[in-house]
Structure 1
Amino acid sequence: MARRWLSTALLFPLYLSLTACPAIVQEPDSAGSNAVPTPVTAPATMPDDPDPALWVIKDEDTTIYLFGTVHILKPGMTWFDEAVKESFDASDELVIEMIKPDPAEMTKIVTDLAIDKSGVSLRDKLTPEDRADFEAAMTKFKMPVAAFDPLDPWFASVSLSLIPLMQNGYATDKGVEDELLAHAKARALTITGLETPEQQLGFFDNLPEEVQIRFLNFTVDNIEDAASGMEQMVAEWANANIDALGALMNAGMEDKILYDTLLVNRNITWAEWVDKRMEKPGTVFLAVGAGHLAGESSLQAILEQKGMTVDRIEY
């Protein structure tokens, strides 16, 4: 069974774990504890014509379009049109978070990183109360309670979060990146990944174990709301409600180390990439998880701190 769930890494990098679940989101304070919860705005309804947010950065010979993505969707959703398609069609390079390797290579990477090497099973790392909650969640979704025992807590959390979404019609091969990649390959565009699979999974794997366990407990506590939270997240994305979407996608990162590792530090690194890329002529369509494009630590905010002008494209 553990081997079966290793294969789920082929379907989603770490970004899936940032899927919305709770009704509130907390900003981490400097000590890593939570500030006063900030209510999320009233849920959006799915529009007939989804128009996700899009930005652009330009100088005399370089254009970079900046697009926030949702990495797992239900089949049949139409969003690749109007300004998004026009911007993509004008681009000669697609840049995404990570280019997935072939299944055999990805399985090896996950095996190296996601299998626990301490000899202590996952459930034995939990308190009695948290273990009972975890086993109840596994039972609810018809999974053997020991299925994730050989795994690190972070990978168990990512795997568990996927189950209710797939049961509610979400498809791991229907995300925004999947469609962008198909169009890019059809046009023979240059395709670039900002991070390697080892880097993406390593962000989680290098977290202290107590942080990983808290993240797993968060997933368990909110697992029954995962599907409805995803529905809200996709609707906010489709309506270009940036602040509400960012709050939902970045929920669960109450620990400062988690917040910095998965969001802030990556945005800083990506901003450096954008700064350097602006020195070369060309047109780039840069697509990263929409949670990176909202809030005070957003990629746009960091780019503006570096003196760049980031304009929202209204359409």
Structure 2
Amino acid sequence: MPSTNAKYLFAFLLSLTLVTLRAQAPTESSLLWKIEGRNLSQPSYLYGTIHLICPNDFVLTDTLKGCLKQTEQLTLEIDMDDPGMMMAMMKGMAMQEGKQLKDLLDAKDYDRLNAYFKDSVGMSIAPFERAKPFMLMSVLLNRVLTCQPQSYEMSLMGLAKKQKVEVVGLETVEEQMAVFDSIPYADQAKMLVTLMDSLPQAREEFSKMVEVYKKQDIAGLYDMTLESVFELENQQEVLLTDRNKRWIPIIEKQVADKPTFIAVGAAHLGGEDGVIALLRRQGYSVSAIPGR
């Protein structure tokens, strides 16, 4: 049995560890961050995007454009400039082991989902029968918006092309698709039906999330993402934390090679296991840039 003193020492060391982890989690409100230190010859930059946003809420500031101009490489979650990306996505859409959507839902929910897609999306779910339910969720998420969404990733790619810098990714399409294979298809199907039944609440939640994003509150955005029944649904480790940890050595290699502008979903930046905190734990200085 450990002595009382040993127990107190362990508790003390644990508390110090937790304090250190929290200290490395970002508290500043900013979407744009400068990465320095660890013998980097030039700084790199980190930017938090939101994957769907209406044009009226879309902003690319001169500060952001100026930071991008100082870099020689644009890094996105996946290399969206890869001509083979669409083919890889098509190959990765299908569920493994011949699973079908009708196997994952009871007949009533399946019929309701099919009717909704015919009435509101203008298409049957038949072509998606073997697709991972998350693919159908992406179609429904577009119904959350009341506009034709604009993309930060596509806009940054356009600027990068004008600048004639390379576009690269932190993970391949196959790796991103494999993430969804780690979430049981039945759980994905349940989330799909939940989203269909809760679109008004989803619109309200997304509107609040956009407001938090516009305030550049990445800590608040991270918390909202964790609490959302439409976002992570108890899949924080798979969709955020594990991916963040896999990205860090790739980011380290990229920024050591050349000054890089890294743009990932803003939910990946916040928290004790977010990209910012993980880079700080590796000894980098990651500082907020005002004005986004």
Aligned residue identity for 2:174: E
CA 1:76–1:157 in 2, change beyond 3 Å: closer, same or farther?
closer
Aligned residue identity for 1:197: V
CA contact (8 A) 2:221 2:267 kept: yes
CA 1:157–1:84 in 2, change beyond 3 Å: closer, same or farther?
same
Aligned residue identity for 2:218: I
Using the TM superposition, name which of 226-235 and 176-185 deviates more.
226-235
**Aligned with residue 184 of structure 1, among 160, 169, 183:** 160
Unaligned 5+ segments in structure 1 are 1-50
**Aligned with residue 240 of structure 2, among 263, 272, 279:** 263
SS state at 1:200 partner: helix
SS state at 1:246 partner: helix
1:97 aligns with 2:74: no
* Alpha-carbon distance between aligned partners in 2 of 1:189 and 1:146, rounded to the nearest angstrom: 40
1:243 Cα deviation from its structure 2 partner:
2.2
Superposed, 1:281-300 pairs within 5 Å as: 282-300=258-276
Q: Deviations over 1:204-253 (max 9, x none)?
A: 13432233233323423432333333332222212112222223344332
1:191 Cα deviation from its structure 2 partner:
1.7
Alignment-derived partner of residue 169 in structure 1: 147
1:253 aligns with 2:225: no
1:293 Cα deviation from its structure 2 partner:
0.8
**Aligned with residue 73 of structure 1, among 43, 50, 53:** 53
**Aligned with residue 87 of structure 2, among 89, 108, 124:** 108
SS state at 2:220 partner: helix
Aligned residue identity for 1:81: T
1:67 Cα deviation from its structure 2 partner:
0.5
1:285 Cα deviation from its structure 2 partner:
1.0
1:279 Cα deviation from its structure 2 partner:
3.4
* Alpha-carbon distance between aligned partners in 2 of 1:235 and 1:186, rounded to the nearest angstrom: 30
Q: Deviations over 1:258-287 (max 9, x none)?
A: 32221111101111122333433x421111
Alignment-derived partner of residue 8 in structure 2: none
Alignment-derived partner of residue 209 in structure 1: 185
* Alpha-carbon distance between aligned partners in 2 of 1:111 and 1:175, rounded to the nearest angstrom: 21
Aligned residue identity for 2:67: S
* Alpha-carbon distance between aligned partners in 1 of 2:102 and 2:114, rounded to the nearest angstrom: 8
Note the aligned Cα RMSD (angstroms).
2.8
* Alpha-carbon distance between aligned partners in 2 of 1:209 and 1:65, rounded to the nearest angstrom: 36
1:92 Cα deviation from its structure 2 partner:
1.9
**Aligned with residue 63 of structure 2, among 73, 83, 86:** 83
CA contact (8 A) 1:52 1:237 kept: no
| Identical aligned residues as a percent | 26
Larger radius of gyration: 2
Aligned residue identity for 2:43: T
* Alpha-carbon distance between aligned partners in 1 of 2:275 and 2:141, rounded to the nearest angstrom: 26
1:243 aligns with 2:219: yes
1:152 aligns with 2:129: no
Superposed, 1:191-230 pairs within 5 Å as: 191-230=167-206
Alignment-derived partner of residue 106 in structure 2: 127
TM-score, length basis structure 1: 0.71
Q: Deviations over 1:153-186 (max 9, x none)?
A: 2222222222332xx1132xx2111111111100
Unaligned 5+ segments in structure 2 are 1-28
